Amino acid sequence: MISMTVNGRRQEFSGDEAMPLLWYLRDELGLTGTKFGCGVSACGACTVHLDGKAVRACVTPVSAVEGRKVITIEGLSKDGSHPVQRAWRAHNVPQCGYCQTGQIMQAAALLEATPKPNDAEIDQAMAGNICRCGTYVRIRAAIRAAAVEA
């Protein structure tokens, strides 16, 4: 039995410990905000926080979260009021929107670790998150705005 805290609630998992965290979150817990993109940690659509750090849920086995805290986009804020979420709306970041939950989770982890990042730090932290629509300029602007607000 694997125990963890997901979005502030204790959860227990008794299935295949090698199951990717992504599938546990989506299929077992119904937290579908975390998206499947590539399955090999290359796109960032599945980004969640594990003990405050951004990780790719598609390659993180459930066994790796024993006793740890997982935060998904649903747990970032109950009402969309996290500074990154507000900045995302204010800067009209999403186009198709598919990658945005992973982008937001990566940006929130960046700002937690580096509250006032410069453009190079933003670019480095966000480099593993792919946006097929190419909204990178708006993403960077939103992160800058969230850093001021936070």
Q: Which residues of the chain have pLDDT under 70?
A: 150
Domains of the chain listed by start with CATH number: 2-76 (3.10.20.30), 83-149 (1.10.150.120)
Query: pLDDT value at position 45?
Result: 97
Instruction: Check: CB of residue 130 under 8 Å from CB of residue 44.
Output: yes
Q: Could you give the 3-state DSSP secondary structure of residue 33?
A: coil
pLDDT tens across 23-63, in order? Answer: 999 999 999 999 999 999 999 999 999 999 999 999 999 99
pLDDT at 149: 86
